[in-house]
């Protein structure tokens, strides 16, 4: 899809295509739709990042809460969104050894108990070992730090999802 085609989308079409670039948060796409037309894909990404950055901490934490656990209950029940399923598979999270699964589950539970939202990382940029390491390390951070780190990862996930929808070569 070209950016010129993005700019021609009505609201419903735009949401259908971009509603999940931030996992389970169509509000983000609904908010940035009003900034159409976009010069290029980077401008659309910037518009999304600006909207997210301007949210209060509670809003940012809410975005993190909309993310499924990595190799968690939804993955096991095959109820992940298409995007999340692809991303978790790319990181090798669909073939964990029993001990890796146990480690992931216990770390995810500890992380959620401590912060009140799930551990979020860009799975397409990390393989399962790096994810387990990152989860164990980030458990030691404080809540504000993890909200900001998690949101930074959401932005990376969003960018990769955008580039799979809109060709980056195109600009107005």
Ligand X SMILES: NC(=O)NC1=NC(=O)NC1=O
Q: Does 122 bind ligand X (CB under 6 A)?
A: yes
- Binding residue count for ligand X, defined by CB under 6 A: 15
Site for ligand X in 82-111 (CB under 6 A): 84, 87
The residues near 59 (Cβ < 8 Å, ≥ 6 apart) are none
Give the Cα separation of 24 and 68 in Å (integer): 9
- Alpha carbon 73 to chain centroid distance? 17
Residues 60, 67, 138, 161: which is the catalytic one? 67
Rule CB under 6 A: choose which of 123, 132, 135, 147 binds ligand X: 123
Site for ligand X in 22-81 (CB under 6 A): 23, 67-70
Which among 126, 117, 167 is positioned nearest to 144, based on CA atoms? 117
Window contacting ligand X (CB under 6 A); options: 4-12, 27-35, 36-44, 115-123: 115-123
Between residues 44 and 120, which has the closer beta carbon with respect to ligand X?
120
Q: Which residues bind ligand X (CB under 6 A)?
A: 23, 67-70, 84, 87, 118-124, 157
Positions marked active-site? 67
């Amino acid at each position: 899809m070209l950016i010129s085609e993005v700019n021609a989308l009505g609201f419903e079409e735009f949401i259908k295509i971009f509603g999940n670039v931030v996992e389970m948060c169509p509000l983000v796409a609904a908010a940035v739709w009003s900034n159409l037309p976009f010069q290029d894909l980077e401008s659309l990404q910037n518009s999304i990042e600006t909207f997210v950055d301007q949210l209060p901490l509670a809003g940012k934490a809410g975005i993190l809460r909309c993310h499924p656990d990595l190799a968690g209950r939804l993955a096991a029940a095959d109820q992940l969104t298409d995007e999340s399923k692809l991303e978790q598979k790319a990181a090798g999270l669909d073939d964990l050894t029993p001990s890796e699964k146990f480690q992931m589950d216990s770390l995810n539970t500890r992380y959620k108990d401590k912060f009140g939202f799930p551990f979020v990382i860009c799975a397409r940029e990390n393989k399962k070992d790096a994810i387990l390491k990152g989860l164990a390390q980030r458990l030691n951070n404080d809540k504000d730090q993890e909200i900001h780190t998690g949101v930074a990862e959401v932005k990376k996930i969003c960018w990769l999802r955008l580039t799979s929808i809109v060709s980056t070569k195109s600009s107005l």
